[in-house]
């Protein structure tokens, strides 16, 4: 699994809806009709922080992660980027 560039800005794809659930969240992409399950509440917090953070790393820290946890969450974000749930943000 290749990691994503943690030092750039990311966001949820505009066609993705997020539904929090007790175990984490459900993501649905209306464009690809794919459903994803976030099996971790903190990953949900990271995903939700992406839009307002200058970088993915900053989003992780804003979500309360420690530095040592960032690589693991980065790999989870890479999985989401692969299925276009999460996309690079330019502004």
Partner 1 sequence: MTATSVTSTASVTSTASVTSTASTTATASATSVPSTPTRLVDLFEYGLDAPICLTWELTYACNLACTHCLSSSGRRDPRELSTAEARAVIDELEAMQVFYVNIGGGEPTVRADFWDLLDYATAHHVGVKFSTNGVRITRQAAERLARNDYVDVQISLDGATADVNDAVRGSGSYATALRAVEHLATAGMRNYKISVVCTRHNIPQLDDFKALADRFGAQLRLTRLRPSGRGADVWDELHPTAAQQRELYDWLSAHGDNVLTGDSFFHLAGYGEPLPGLNLCGAGRVVCLIDPVGDVYACPFAIHEEFLAGNVRAPGGFREVWRGSELFRRLRGPQHGGACSSCAFYDNCKGGCMAAKFFTGLPLDGPDPECVQGYGEERLARRPPGTAHLPRPSQDHSRRAAARPVDLVLTRRPPVSECAEHPLAGLDPTLAGKGGTHA
> Which residues make up the interface to partner 1 (CB under 8 A)?
1, 15, 17, 19-24, 26, 28, 30-40, 42-43, 72-73, 75-76, 78-80, 83
Q: Answer whether 55's CB lies under 8 Å from 41's CB.
A: no
CA 70 – CA 72 distance, rounded (Å):
6
Nearer to partner 1, 77 or 91 (CB): 77
Least CB distance from residue 42 to partner 1, whole Å?
7
Half-sphere exposure for 72 (CA within 13 Å, toward CB) = 8
CA 58 – CA 38 distance, rounded (Å):
20
Nearer to partner 1, 71 or 88 (CB): 71
Nearer to partner 1, 56 or 76 (CB): 76
């Amino acid at each position: 699994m290749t990691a994503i560039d943690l030092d750039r800005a990311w966001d949820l794809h505009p066609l993705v809806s997020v539904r929090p659930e007790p175990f984490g969240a459900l993501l649905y992409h209306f464009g690809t009709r794919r459903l994803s399950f976030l099996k971790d509440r903190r990953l949900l917090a990271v995903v939700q922080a992406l839009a307002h953070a200058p970088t993915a790393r900053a989003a992780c820290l804003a979500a309360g992660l420690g530095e040592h946890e960032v690589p693991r969450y980065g790999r989870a974000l890479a999985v989401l980027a692969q299925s276009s749930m999460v996309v690079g943000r330019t502004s």
